[in-house]
Amino acid sequence: MNQHYDVVVLGGGPAGLTAGIYLGRARVKTLIVDSGSLGGQMIMTYAVANYPGVLEASGRDIAMTMKAQATQFGCDLMPNVEVARIDLSGATKLVEIEDEGTFTASGVIIATGGVPRTLGLPSEALFKGRGISYCATCDGDFFTGKHVVAIGGGNSAIEESVALAKHAASVTVVHEFDHFQAHPFAVEEARRNSKLRFLMEQDIREFVGDQTLEKVIVSHKRTGEVTEIPAAGAFIFIGYVPNTAMFRGQIALNDRGEILTDEAMKTNVPGVFAAGDSRVKRYRQITTAVADGTIAALSATEYLRGDGQARAARAPTSPAR
């Protein structure tokens, strides 16, 4: 299959689906591609209580509504496929998809997201979503009045630990080194919080529980002393890995692999935009991804019209908008 689109959106999470909704409404012929199920990491969130206009819903429900909207506005959706090759260098971009063919586009929006860095322990995978979380803002209030562990020593770990203390009865911060990498003022604020205690030079050995997490087992890196920490929740803040490896050498990335954009979500390559967790940003929430997707779609639409590039033919079945 070989087909030309106005815009190919790489990634079907909240940023990519939002971009598709705006592009579709603007009568921009759009293909949304994702290596997994549409919805991205959002679909793994059991309950979303801080999405404006929605009192509470599962991440999957929000994702399915976005998918329906993107479809309604004429987007073609292609989940569960792998991008074999991508070329962003020319005026016409090329996306080759395994077992599906080669697709061309006048513009590309990269919304491939990323994943929190994991410890890689088998017990971590076992309790993911059952006590283990990677987002205090998302899940902190579910542990109100309970004892939790925060793992990490960078800015995110320290700042999120302070945020967790607003809900939890106590927060035990576990770090592998004898000093924190976070900014001194953040560490000072954390140390002033009576709900926080600190265990330094510790290795995480295991997460233990029955149906849900009950304790975290750690050992001192030098002495080997084992400590069992009773905890209903464990929040892991040891970094974030953007899904951008395929773009290395084609667009500008920082040393962490995050895509560099301006406020209009433009990359350094004309016709290529980025939105959501794959780009450089401080806060990673569903709402910030949706905002990025909106801006990227509007910028891409402006780019198409401003450059006067040949537009792909419109599907006759697209509803009037």
CATH of the domain at 192: 3.50.50.60
Q: Are residues 179 and 203 in the same domain?
A: yes
Decide if pLDDT at 8 tops 70.
Answer: yes
Q: Are residues 150 and 102 in the same domain?
A: no
Span 41-90, pLDDT tens digits: 887 666 777 889 998 888 889 999 999 999 999 999 999 999 999 999 99
Q: Which two tokens stand for residue 216?
A: 């975290």
**Alpha-carbon gap, residue 30 to 267, rounded angstroms:** 19
The parent domain of residue 250 ranges over 2-115+240-307
Q: Give residue 73's pLDDT.
A: 97
Decide if pLDDT at 321 tops 80.
Answer: no
Q: Give residue 136's pLDDT.
A: 85
Decide if pLDDT at 197 tops 50.
Answer: yes
pTM equals 0.74
Q: Is residue 319 assigned to a domain?
A: no
Q: Is residue 315 assigned to a domain?
A: no
Decide if pLDDT at 268 tops 50.
Answer: yes
Residue where a domain stops, chosen among 236, 251, 282? 236
**Alpha-carbon gap, residue 103 to 245, rounded angstroms:** 20
**Alpha-carbon gap, residue 231 to 34, rounded angstroms:** 36
Residues with active-site annotation: 135, 138-139
Q: Is residue 270 assigned to a domain?
A: yes
Span 127-174, pLDDT tens digits: 998 999 988 877 889 999 999 999 999 888 998 899 899 999 999 999
Most confident range, picked from 113-127, 128-142, 190-204: 190-204
Hey, CA dihedral for 22, 28, 29, 32, is it positive or negative?
Answer: negative
Q: Which two tokens stand for residue 210?
A: 């029955």
Split at pLDDT 50, 70, 90, the class of 1 is: low
Decide if pLDDT at 255 tops 90.
Answer: yes
- The string of DSSP codes covering 262-309 is -TT-B-SSTTEEE-GGGBS-S---HHHHHHHHHHHHHHHHHHHHHHTP
Q: Which of 199, 121, 160 is CA-nearest to residue 283?
A: 160
